[in-house]
Amino acid sequence: RKTHANDLLADKFSFAVLGLGDSNLLFDRQTTSAKDCNQVAQELDARLVMLGGSRQCPLGMADERSGLKEVEPWIQGLWESLR
């Protein structure tokens, strides 16, 4: 792994992350949520912030099991932040 300055992306990069997970694939757990099946999205979001990127909108996490009901509100929030 290479190391980078914590401000590598400062003033250069804004981003939005929406994790699209499927908790049906987590057979070993009795209860699951969108957070449980979106670890990659959470790690990506955290790393981009650590490098100095600016969130365009909050991290979104959706779950196929719940019919992706979290997606539409997240997209609305993204559009509002882009205006």
**Is the pLDDT higher at 60 or at 6?**
60
Q: What is the pLDDT of residue 81?
A: 93
Q: 């070993």: which residue's tokens?
A: 28
Cα 28-35-56 angle, rounded to 5 deg: 155
Measured CA angle at 67 (ends 61, 22), to 5 deg: 55
CATH of the domain at 30: 3.40.50.360
- Domain contains 1: no
The total of structural domains in the chain comes to 1
Residue 7 covered by a domain = no
Distance CA 52, CA 12 (A): 9
User: Is 5 domain-assigned?
Assistant: no
Cα angle 19, 21, 24; round to 5: 165
The reported pLDDT for the residue numbered 46 is: 95
Give me the domain span that covers residue 34. 14-82
pLDDT tens digits for range 24-82: 777 666 556 666 778 899 999 999 999 889 999 999 999 888 877 889 999 999 999 99
Q: What count of other Cβ atoms lies within 10 Å of the Cβ of residue 76? A: 11
